[in-house]
Amino acid sequence: MYDTARLGKEHGLKSVMISNGYIQEKPLTELCQYLSAVKIDLKGFTEKFYQETCTGELKPVLNTLTTLKKIGIWFEIVVLVIPTLNDSAKEFQEMCLWIRENLGPDVPVHFTRFHPTYKIKNLPPTPVKTLEMARKVALDTGLHFPYVGNVPGHEGENTYCPSCHNIVIRRAGFSIRENHLKNDTCKGCGQPIPGIWA
């Protein structure tokens, strides 16, 4: 990945790393100089969930997130919400408070819908109301850009201005339907909207 990202940057290409967050600080720092953005899967917010469901640990992932913040690269967080395993309001609140206090309110957090497949086929798809609750907890905690994911057409997949609350990017699945940004700011009120915009 390092060599590919370096060559891509030399030729004007943008690279995005998608990761579970298990990477040490030194190689991450070296790699980020050639990346445009990073997406981290934060699979839950308890050590119990990481140990029992992921056979890993939470702390290394949190360390990666704080390292990305320190480096200054654009990054986003995706949380796959799995019924009964990582879907409590308490866990969402603890996660969102940690994100706000350690990473800042502008880090996008995508609460995505689980569908039963692969190793977890015994649980139902995530209720949309659970994703809406997670998004509301994030907003109430002070995060500016929480999203509902894997629910095409849901209002929670749009980007809203944190100042005037107008839609600045209207989406339908992976497609952009409307773009109300002007020079990386909200056309309605002039609030800067952080991100990597084409």
Task: Compute the distance between CA of residue 97 and CA of residue 93 in angstroms, rounded to an integer.
Answer: 6
The amino acid sitting at 115 is: H
> What does each C-alpha distance from 96 to 70, 78, 155, 173 come to in angstroms?
19, 12, 20, 24
Q: Is 79 helix (H, G, I), strand (E, B) or coil?
A: strand
For 119-136, how does the pLDDT look when each residue is reduced to its tens digit (9 = 90+)?
899 999 999 999 999 999
- Percentage of the chain surpassing pLDDT 70? 99
pTM as predicted: 0.96
Q: Which of 122, 142, 133 is nearest to 91 (CA)?
A: 133
Token duo for residue 46: 């308890």
Name beta bridge partners: 43: none
pLDDT per residue as tens, the chain (198 positions): 999 999 999 999 999 999 999 999 999 999 999 999 999 999 999 999 999 999 999 999 999 999 999 999 999 999 999 999 999 999 999 999 999 999 999 999 999 999 999 889 999 999 999 999 999 999 999 999 999 999 999 999 999 999 999 999 999 988 999 999 999 999 999 999 999 987
Task: State the pLDDT at residue 88.
Answer: 98
Structural domains of the chain in order of their starting residue, each with its CATH number: 2-151 (3.20.20.70), 158-198 (no CATH)
Q: Is 130 helix (H, G, I), strand (E, B) or coil?
A: helix
Alpha helices (runs of H) in the chain, residue ranges in sequence order: 2-10, 25-32, 47-53, 59-71, 89-102, 128-141
